[in-house]
Structure 1
């Protein structure tokens, strides 16, 4: 009997799996997939629950993979929701609840599509599902843990589709063939505290920090590349914490976030940030420390087999040919790109992380159909 992706979405929403809690979401999926003939393994690490499921022989040279997550962000004030955020209510042609859009519906669609596909047309190859509980969190023990485990076990996907929401407004209009890199730099400027009436006896770190931030924010990183828009730098905070109007502070901090394309690497940008900080420090006599955290490098999966399959399947079901995009933030595709070619395609993402998050029933069913067609095309030869 075919698996209903809408019902499975609702059942998953009823599992309040706020990162890093699993709360039954992966248990439910393991039961569904085991009944469908998949070999399932829990790959838990660092207090995070993950699920690996495979139909077919391990190590098969043709292994199509799906990746997704069942963890969700907090609901905020539950009283602000029109429906129970963990009720999985189907109403007005939509399924309501936290994770309905991002991305329990995507997981339900590819689980349903994969299970039905292997039952109806068993392929010459393997179908692999990697489902994590740590995409909305730090990401250290989620998809990365699954890939580490797969490497140790000799398991491999030859291509992978991540089921994140990718369509801005209409179902079928966009897929992601890459993502920008993301990094954050935390600057600390240190001077000498003093009385504001005697500034010559102090060393004020604020003008130096302001000078540095202005130089960074005014700099054009690039004008874009073939598949990427221009890189961006955003100043996200400047903090001093000084409540006294007659005290020059000893220390001040600023943070910038860079979303960068394939014209850069985190290493080259780190060198630039530290060089700019050193230059301002030399000009002002204020010590400036730079601490950098990298969330992911930019990457691109060149148009080809995977994007062609997704495009054809989406157009058959929705009438729209998805444009190839690298917009948006980061996703777990940034880890998978080191394992195999990866592309993202999923629902319209307008309500993700919002109060009254929801997904349209018709779109969930369309997504299952698209995923099924992708599998059929991949294993057609």
Structure 2
């Protein structure tokens, strides 16, 4: 199945830093249409370039199977993070060197999408319905990406039975881990207002910094939980601290901070937001939360066994079910149907000289074909 390598090269060669539009979707459509897929492309966002409302392109492609057959969906994203400087070769000029294919998106996740396309080629149409749920905004705000695709699918009556997201989940070798869930994520902006004044006359001012420091100390000391059967303990991290005071002899009028909480299914974004807000109020401050996603779990069962069997058949190993790591668009897709993530080794994702083993692309194509066939047969 070496075609997966060529497909990956064509996708990598189409620059698609978040939010992705245009050429990279043209390439994918040209791959899917000859395989019998009906391709729908849509752009969302109000067009304010450089903002969270920048135009985002999405693609939904479907190849209908016989009436009443199962519907299996592949999902992923064509957008990539900025390449940065210092690459050995041009990040959007894919290069084969030894056993590796280099280029931005080789791992996260144009390589996996190439494998999905190649897998679909090897699953007969009469086996059932296959679809592709592909966004151009997973690495960014994710406001007009997969959520817009879900709205389209619901409006058109396209309901997958199972969905596989091709995020790079493997750690040390292809196939050693799959993600059966993810923690939730909430970012919270904290602020304490004071009264500006001269440091020599503190009684005429109100310094917000000690209040903020006390607030952060209490938040940092929180033990949210000890973890669960499938989730590691929730953790709160202080990610920014800002006073913005250029003068050494002035008590500032305001102090700010930001924190991020990754949390398991013992909590919700709302409950944690209120907990932090209560502590902020206690110290005379305020809290503004933005919940990026709630925790979810696809309990081990038929779907995870299908994946494990496919991986074992092609690699000889059994993937560990895990919920570690950051968030992905699976947090949205879980509202549609059971969803699991499985893909390439993640060692070089988002790094300079991102690269994938070409043998892994061939193997992953075969794994994906087995998974799709077994899911449609289940």
TM norm structure 2: 0.95
Q: CA shift at 1:35, angstroms?
A: 0.4
Q: CA shift at 1:169, angstroms?
A: 1.4
2:84 corresponds to which residue?
76
Q: CA RMSD in A?
A: 1.3
Distance 2:340 2:201 in 1: 60
Matched, 1:52 2:52: no
1:1-381 correspondence to structure 2 within 5 Å? 4-46=3-45, 47-57=55-65, 60=68, 62-77=70-85, 80-118=86-124, 122-281=125-284, 288-380=285-377
Are the equivalent residues in 1 in contact too, given 2:348–2:355 (CA < 8 A)? yes
Q: CA shift at 1:58, angstroms?
A: 9.3
Q: Deviations over 1:16-47 (max 9, x none)?
A: 01111324111111111110111111122112
Are the equivalent residues in 1 in contact too, given 2:127–2:373 (CA < 8 A)? no
Task: Name segments (4+ residues, structure 1) moved above 2 Å.
Answer: 57-61, 122-125
Distance 2:89 2:121 in 1: 30
Q: 1:209 to 1:3 in 2, by over 3 A?
A: same
Q: CA shift at 1:197, angstroms?
A: 1.0
Structure 2: give runs of 5+ residues left out of the alignment. 46-54
Q: CA shift at 1:3, angstroms?
A: 6.9
Distance 1:184 1:356 in 2: 30
Are the equivalent residues in 1 in contact too, given 2:22–2:57 (CA < 8 A)? no
Q: CA shift at 1:380, angstroms?
A: 3.1
Q: Deviations over 1:117-162 (max 9, x none)?
A: 13xxx33421111111111111111111110011111111111000
Q: CA shift at 1:290, angstroms?
A: 0.8
Are the equivalent residues in 2 in contact too, given 1:3–1:116 (CA < 8 A)? no
Q: 1:370 to 1:274 in 2, by over 3 A?
A: same
Distance 1:141 1:223 in 2: 35
Distance 2:70 2:165 in 1: 17
Are the equivalent residues in 2 in contact too, given 1:59–1:155 (CA < 8 A)? no
TM norm structure 1: 0.94
Q: 1:360 to 1:3 in 2, by over 3 A?
A: closer
Are the equivalent residues in 1 in contact too, given 2:65–2:130 (CA < 8 A)? no
